[in-house]
Amino acid sequence: MQTLFHKPSRSDWVVIGVFWAAALPFIFSNYSEVVRQVGWARVLGFSLWSMIVPLALTLVLVFSLMPNLLFRKRYFLFIVALTVVSLSIAVVYRLGNGLLRDVMPTMTVDNVLGSLIDIVQKAGVLSTMLAGKQFFETQQRLLRSEKERTEAELRHLKAQIDPHFLFNNLNVLGSLIQRNPEQASAYLHRFSALYRYLIRHKDDDVVPLADELAFVTDYQYLIGQRFGRAYVFIEKLTVSDSLTVFVPPGSIQTLLENAVKHNQGDERNPLLIDLTVTDQTIIVRNDLRPKLTPVDSTGIGLDNLHKRYQFLSDQPIHIQRDGVEFIVTLPILKSLSTVQQPTPK
């Protein structure tokens, strides 16, 4: 059911009170010359009437006509309603002034327009203040809503990493337990360290590059234990200080895992996976050698990483596939101040 009148909030009444408290001395000054003629009581009545009528117009305009007509783009109805309400209030204002003066007011067009101008002058500033306040509050609500949505989506994206990573490595561990219990024990130790890393940073949007590179080293060990020399990682690190630059946690591991998952490698002809880290970018490059048996893949890994970068930075990731090589370039986040992280609640 549509609300014809939106109830003012407590803060709206505070704005109204502050406005009239500031305006009251000026209203009194308009009647200072007639104090001796009619007395303070009647001057107070004039002053209150000069406040009540413009306030009524303001409340109708800001809390009824604007939300129900103007904001719904019913412009013609808004103009008609505002005209009718304003003229009606001007007539009431004129009648009230006459009763306070004990005279019958004249209702000529000039008199009514004069009263209307007087009301609009007082109501205009207050209406502008209240409308501006509502606009500002609406924008703040929209920003909070967008921020909460972004935080929820980012939490969801980060949560997708853990089950995917856990599932793959438990399969590896299960096969190693059957083949080589000693290797399985070492593998479990490394795997535990990796999972502790993910748990420790599950609420972090970014981590120092140095931490991610240490994580990647453990991951490469697990791949080596499973596949031997079928996949060879070549690292070229020329970054100046890996402690002062940042990446999303698990981002490099996602790219390495993607290369292993989709490409064939063997001991005689290993797949070379090149990891190049500079002060500006992280580049993971490998030859395209699709596995003979198609891999069941939903593309979650790269899509997840792409969306995380969208939330964290205005620098996108770049994916290049030319039929020979597959290359992914991640921008390095220079400092926490450049990361578009949601403000903590």
Residue 31 shares a structural domain with residue 126: yes
The tally of domains found in the chain comes to: 2
Among 110, 141, 172, the domain-final residue is 141
The answer to whether position 148 is within a domain reads no
pLDDT confidence of residue 9? 83
The answer to whether position 161 is within a domain reads no
Q: How would you write 265-290 as a 3-class SS string? A: CCCCCCEEEEEEECCCEEEEEEECCE
Residue 66 shares a structural domain with residue 129: yes
**DSSP code of 238?**
-
The answer to whether position 171 is within a domain reads no
The answer to whether position 165 is within a domain reads no
Residue 201 shares a structural domain with residue 94: no
pLDDT in tens, 128-167: 888 888 888 877 777 765 665 565 455 545 555 556 567 7
pLDDT confidence of residue 124? 81
Q: How far apart are CA 72 and CA 67, in angstroms?
A: 7
Could you tell me which of 340, 166, 333 has the C-alpha nearest to residue 251? 333
Among 141, 156, 188, the domain-final residue is 141
CATH (domain of 295): 3.30.565.10
Residue 184 shares a structural domain with residue 326: yes
Longest dimension (CA), the chain: 113
Could you tell me which of 172, 174, 167, 165 has the C-alpha nearest to residue 194? 165
Residue 52 shares a structural domain with residue 194: no
pTM: 0.53
pLDDT confidence of residue 345? 40
Other C-beta atoms lying within 10 Å of the C-beta of residue 212: 24
The answer to whether position 2 is within a domain reads no
Residue 206 shares a structural domain with residue 94: no
Question: Do you know the residue count of the chain?
Answer: 345
Among 87, 110, 141, the domain-final residue is 141
Residue 15 shares a structural domain with residue 120: yes
Residue 121 shares a structural domain with residue 41: yes
Q: How far apart are CA 247 and CA 334, in angstroms?
A: 9
The answer to whether position 295 is within a domain reads yes
pLDDT confidence of residue 57? 85
Helix (H) or strand (E) holding 327: strand 325-331
Residue 290 shares a structural domain with residue 242: yes
pLDDT confidence of residue 63? 86
Contact status, residue 260 vs residue 227, Cβ threshold 8 Å: yes
Domain membership of residue 44 as a residue range: 10-141
Residue 110 shares a structural domain with residue 205: no
Residue 125 shares a structural domain with residue 222: no
pLDDT confidence of residue 293? 78
Q: How far apart are CA 51 and CA 23, in angstroms?
A: 9
Helix (H) or strand (E) holding 172: helix 109-179
pLDDT confidence of residue 31? 58
Residues of the chain with pLDDT under 50: 1, 152, 156, 337-338, 340-345
Q: How far apart are CA 222 and CA 267, in angstroms?
A: 16
Residue 189 shares a structural domain with residue 132: no
The answer to whether position 121 is within a domain reads yes
The answer to whether position 170 is within a domain reads no
